[in-house]
Amino acid sequence: MEDKILLPEGTSGYKANLHCHTTLSDGEFTPEQVKAAYQKEGYSIVAYTDHDRYGWHSQLTDKDFLALAALEVEVTEEDPGKEWPLLRTYHLNLFDTDPAARREEKQGDLLPHCAYGDVAALNQYIAKMTRLGFLVTYNHPYWSLQDWRDYSGLRGLFAMEIYNHGCEHDGLYGFHPQVYDEMLRSGQRLFALATDDNHDRLPLGHPLNDSFGGFVRIFAGELTYPAVMEALRAGRFYWSQGPEIRGLSIEGDTLRVKTSPVEKIFVVLEGRDTYKAVVRPGEAVTEASFPLTGKEGWFRVQIRDSRGLFAGTNAYFL
């Protein structure tokens, strides 16, 4: 196999929250307060994804912080016989790759106008938004009461939320590794994100506050809009609830993984087989090597630390 550096060694990269709500929709913090809180916790990037409202807070961007233009939209079941907690819903995040381009169109109607269950129409909407310059992400399927029938037919997505911190607080609805694998096995090629989806209805530091629990580490050459978007498009990032991936490469026929101290390093494959390195509770592993046969189809790395927190990579196709 060709030698490849999939993720660089070390702890470089920009920490990002790609799902956030402010006082412009149903969040409790202003955009400025979100920036201050996240910078204090070591974040360099926040995507402002207020509901149904495109927002580019360019005044918040400086040499140490990048505000991404974005919004969150939804398509929800219409059933007068059901109360809201029982209605299935699609939630999508749209990240603008070039907010200076086609600005007049982006100030218009960006919402999906299709019926729930019309997957063809939803895919047309995803394609339309992609042509307009957005990366489209599928959000929190467990919280949305969705299953294989709802997401297996989706096409054209940039990524899905493998972890959503706010949904984890709502009812342990936040972690979706099986959904990611099912989407990959249905023929979709998409990346995986961990996000906060923070609304901050409880104070920072409260055990149910929804900030600082899910992030991505983006390996961009510099903290500029074009560089970060190029890195996102190329999949040069990993997702995490806390642990770090400190290197991922293919050397010959060997996959090499480096991490912060963890108890488990798993390589999930297209089929049910896995490669793994594990230690006893209280011990730690920080690197592992696995032979590749070329028959894996695709693989992704997933790690777990002593706190029970996970991190992982996007899927890589062989």
Q: Would you give per-residue pLDDT tens digits along the chain (318 residues)? A: 889 999 999 878 999 999 999 999 999 999 999 999 999 999 999 999 999 999 999 999 999 999 999 999 999 999 999 999 999 999 999 999 999 999 999 989 999 999 999 999 999 999 999 999 999 999 999 999 999 999 999 999 999 999 999 999 999 999 999 999 999 999 999 999 999 999 999 999 999 999 999 999 999 999 999 999 999 999 999 999 999 999 999 999 999 999 999 999 999 999 999 999 999 999 999 999 999 999 999 999 999 999 999 999 999 999
Contact present, 188 and 157 (Cβ < 8 Å)? yes
> In the chain, what are the domain boundaries?
12-241, 244-318
pLDDT at 1: 80
The pLDDT score that the predictor gives to residue 145 is 98
Residues ≥6 apart with Cβ < 8 Å to 250 = 1, 2, 3, 4, 6, 256, 292
User: What's domain 12-241's superfamily in CATH?
Assistant: Metal-dependent hydrolases (3.20.20.140)
Cα distance between residue 127 and residue 20, in whole Å: 24
Enter the DSSP assignment of 59: G
Q: Is 134 helix (H, G, I), strand (E, B) or coil?
A: strand
CB contact at 8 A, 20 and 198: yes
Sign of CA dihedral 314, 35, 47, 25: positive
116: number of CA atoms within 13 Å, CB side? 16
Q: Could you tell me the two tokens for 146? A: 């969705």
CA dihedral sign of residues 220, 55, 174, 316: negative
Q: How far apart are CA 202 and CA 153, in angstroms?
A: 37
Q: How high is the pLDDT of residue 46? A: 99
- Contact predicate 50/27, CB 8 Å: yes
Contact 4, 215 (CB under 8 A): no
Instruction: Classify residue 20 by its DSSP letter.
Output: B
Q: Is the pTM of this model over 0.75?
A: yes
Residue with the two structure tokens 């969705």: 146
Residue 191 token pair: 């990346």
Q: What is the pLDDT, as a whole number, of residue 50?
A: 98
| Cα distances (Å, whole numbers) of residue 227 to 66, 83, 150, 218, 222 | 11, 44, 33, 10, 6
**Cβ distance 139 to 93 under 8 Å?**
yes
The CATH class given to the 244-318 domain equals mainly beta
Cα angle 305-274-136, degrees, rounded to a multiple of 5: 75
